[in-house]
Structure 1
């Protein structure tokens, strides 16, 4: 009985239909979350639908239970591993397929690692002011938790440009000075150009007090390179799978 159950689970876990079903369901989940973000915001929608195992979706007055993105990702990892073991053959093609499968698993796992390892906070500075503390988890009605940085950040200057005859900002940037002991670095952090120091990345979020205060987002993400590694490994695996076949067809045509 146990063997029959294991065979059934293995067949289900490695099913191509399960892979297609997960992709279709993930598309639907993104659709529902996109509608929800208009009401609850991007961050709340991400936490509700993609960082949970179960959630409640809504389409107008209709509410219904859903599997969250965390559970979908876990099911995708199981499906990729099981289908890779079941369908991948030997030879160069099979080796390339194995590399591509493992890269897809790494891509999903890297998303989970970034969720658990990523630290993101905000830093509010006035011109001439320096600080070595950011606030993590600040939300409306909640003060957040202070986290000490291993270096200090000083706002040397803040500048903002407006569109002609308008109070709408065109661009704004902060000239900041990072210092840790004798190690110092001056960088300009703007809307589309972050700065980095000591393993942290700083983004220009907003400003206040008529341009006298700058609001920076500070992010530390030790797993930030894993998605790039996974994408590169996927490309290598696909190349190993299909390039030899293309060359074989080319030689066949020459003959």
Structure 2
């Protein structure tokens, strides 16, 4: 259920709208009433509200002022105006401040039903999009964890080791990592090994076979082969050119 606040300076109108329209049938729940714009702003400071159905003219603070305030705050709350005044200028201001609809009094059941059914569809779509974005950010976090694991454990990094961190099947991690980064898990590990090896080669005190072991290669020939494939030259050639 989406949360709806009704605001009107006439008690009979706001109470009638709250009590006699079947809001829950179209996905809304009345969570409060307000007699003016000041009360509206006070209410939304303490409560979560999805939609405000507000009279356009109210004492102390009008519906237009409320809409302007919410617009300036970039609030996600949807505003629908209710008014007995067929004033084009008011309607124009409502549009300028992002107001969704302008309903004339006396309200008609069919009009309320149509407008709020449309608003529910919009809110459903926003919720779906938000969920999709949040899901993708989880996705991003998982990739970050895997990459951090490889950076810190390049010497012995493995799918099994990564799987223990993100609680995913090793086979699925391999497929997942490639899908999200465009590269293989194993290739990423090798690239980190080679990056570290290149850094270590600047230390002339270290032998090539020692660097090979330091980055996780027990066989120096395999290390040299991987290094040449990655940089296009052997470790010794790379060192001599630096």
- Output the TM-score relative to the length of structure 1: 0.26
Higher relative strand content: 1
Higher relative contact order (CA 8 A, sep 6+): 1
Higher relative helix content: 2
